[in-house]
Amino acid sequence: MADFIETRIITAIRKLLTGRVNELLGEYEFHIPVIEFGNYGCGYGMVPVISLSLCECSEKERIIRLEAYTVSIAFLLPETFESETQCYAYCGAVRQAIKEMPTLGGVVDRVAVTGEKYTPPKKPGCGDGWGVALTLRLTVEGSNQ
């Protein structure tokens, strides 16, 4: 089976989230559900949605043959008293983990957080929850294309 760069990127992001990000979340003084992947449905863990896309490269990146990817990590939280604080905690922990490991363990050349979007419920008390989406930009030299 081929080892595509896209697969390695998603695996590295998942490992970062379930590893260092969870460690950082555990250091906070209030309870934040840990990040996990799977179909548990128990309500104790957070399962973020990760999406990857190839993005347009700058002229400089094309010349030095860098591929650029955009990764979105979305957290959807039920509406509770702590939801807004939990959104900020997830973003802060992801930013800190990326600052500590800007190459995702050597999988990419560089990762940068390029955006954070916080989405409150449209109408409080109607069942909509809080959401937060982080956008990352990754550059990879000499990928599979």
pLDDT digits (tens, 9 = 90+) for 92-124: 999 999 999 999 999 999 999 999 999 998 877
pTM of full prediction above 0.85:
yes
Q: What is the pLDDT of residue 62?
A: 72
Instruction: For residues 94 and 98, give the distance between their C-alpha atoms in angstroms, rounded to a whole number.
Output: 6
**CATH 3.30.70.60, domain 5-141, yes or no:** yes
Question: What are the C-alpha distances in Å from 138 to residues 9, 37, 96?
Answer: 9, 22, 16
Domain ranges of the chain: 5-141
Secondary structure class of 100 (helix, strand, coil): helix
What is d(CA 32, CA 135) in angstroms, rounded to the nearest whole number?
A: 21
